[in-house]
């Protein structure tokens, strides 16, 4: 099994010092994050507002870790491409919001990004299996999107297991990513279910030493 990927979410970081907060998880060794997760919220698709393309463009200039942009926005068919063109490594849109997810994935890839599709906790996986053939990442939400620091919803691990099986049997080629409530108490069950990439916001940026928190989560996630 591949090495786990750890993606700290800057939603729980200090927004006045985002460059330094990313640098804090960019040290060498196991404390180095694999991706930095950037939560874009528009106060329409979710009841919260964070940051958008201008901030991501600035972060791309200073971050030497791939940016994983999670777009919790309406009309991603219109807006997601800008993040890919700006140089985000992975751009994830929500299945519930996308009008033409296959075209969207093709456009994101054509712009040089990996394409990600996310499903909320109550959204089933099956209707999206065909579209997922065009994607690189499946982001399974393990909290309702909108806020950090919520409790992990273990029921979603059934979808992770299904996705893992489809990837392991070669029917899909995806990084299986989980987002929400991942911490020292929950990461092992997620790893066990077959997650490849673990997003952690409060567990990393709520810790005294974010780099140390990344290293600890990485050790726990190793399967």
In the complex with Zn ion, which residue's Cβ is closer, 39 or 196? 39
Please pick, from the candidates 5, 10, 36, 39, the single residue that binds Zn ion as defined by CB under 5 A: 39
Structure tokens at 184: 């020292």
Task: State residue 197 phi and psi, 5-degree precision.
Answer: -130, 130
In the complex with ligand DX5, which residue's Cβ is closer, 42 or 179? 179
- Cα-Cα-Cα-Cα torsion 21, 22, 24, 29, nearest 10 degrees, comes to 170
The full DSSP string for 56-86 is HHHHHHH--S-EEEEEE-S-HHHHHHHHHHH
CB of 170 to ligand DX5, least distance (A): 29
CB of 42 to ligand DX5, least distance (A): 12
In the complex with ligand DX5, which residue's Cβ is closer, 24 or 166? 24
CB of 204 to Zn ion, least distance (A): 13
Distances (CA, A) of 222 to 168, 196, 215: 17, 10, 11
* Residue 166 binding result from ligand DX5, Zn ion, none, given CB thresholds of 5 to 8 Å by partner type: none
Please pick, from the candidates 178, 179, 183, 213, the single residue that binds Zn ion as defined by CB under 5 A: 179
Strands (E), the chain: 5-8, 36-41, 67-72, 90-94, 114-119, 137-141, 175-179, 197-200
Q: Cβ-count burial of 155 within 10 angstroms (0-12 exposed, 13-18 middle, 19+ buried)? A: exposed
d(CA 51, CA 57): 11
**Residues 44-73 contacting Zn ion, CB under 5 A:** 70
Question: Any binding-site annotation on 148?
Answer: yes
The answer to whether residue 179 is catalytic is yes
* Residue 200 binding result from Zn ion, ligand DX5, none, given CB thresholds of 5 to 8 Å by partner type: ligand DX5
The answer to whether residue 130 is catalytic is no
Which listed residue (39, 42, 68, 107) is catalytic? 39
* Residue 150 binding result from ligand DX5, Zn ion, none, given CB thresholds of 5 to 8 Å by partner type: ligand DX5
Question: Any binding-site annotation on 44?
Answer: no
Q: In this structure, is the dihedral angle defined by the CA atoms of residues 206, 122, 172 and 103, taken in order, positive or negative?
A: negative
Contact 197, 177 (CB under 8 A): yes
In the complex with ligand DX5, which residue's Cβ is closer, 9 or 166? 9
Known catalytic residues? 39, 179
Binding site, residues?
Answer: 9, 37, 39, 70, 146-149, 179-181, 201-202
Chain positions contacting Zn ion, by CB under 5 A: 39, 70, 179
| Residue positions forming the annotated binding site for substrate | 9, 70, 146-149, 179-181, 201-202
């Amino acid at each position: 099994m591949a090495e786990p990927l750890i993606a700290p979410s800057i939603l729980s970081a200090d927004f006045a010092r985002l460059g330094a907060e990313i640098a804090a998880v960019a040290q060498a060794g196991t404390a180095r994050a694999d991706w930095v997760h950037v939560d874009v919220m528009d106060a329409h698709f979710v009841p919260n507002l964070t940051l958008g393309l201008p901030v991501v463009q600035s972060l791309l200039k200073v971050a030497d870790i791939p940016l994983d942009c999670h777009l919790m926005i309406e009309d991603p068919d219109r807006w997601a491409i800008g993040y890919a063109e700006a140089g985000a490594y992975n751009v994830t849109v929500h299945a519930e919001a996308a009008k033409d997810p296959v075209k969207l994935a093709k456009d994101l890839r054509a712009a040089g990004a990996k394409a990600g599709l996310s499903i909320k906790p109550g959204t089933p996986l099956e209707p999206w299996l065909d579209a997922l053939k065009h994607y690189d990442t499946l982001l399974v939400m393990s909290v309702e999107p909108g806020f950090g620091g919520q409790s992990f919803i273990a029921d979603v691990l059934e979808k992770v297991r299904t996705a893992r099986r489809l990837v392991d049997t070669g029917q899909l080629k995806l990084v299986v990513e989980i987002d929400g409530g991942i911490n020292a108490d929950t990461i092992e069950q997620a790893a066990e279910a077959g997650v490849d990439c673990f997003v952690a916001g409060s567990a990393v940026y709520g810790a005294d030493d974010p780099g140390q928190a990344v290293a600890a989560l990485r050790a726990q996630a190793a399967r």
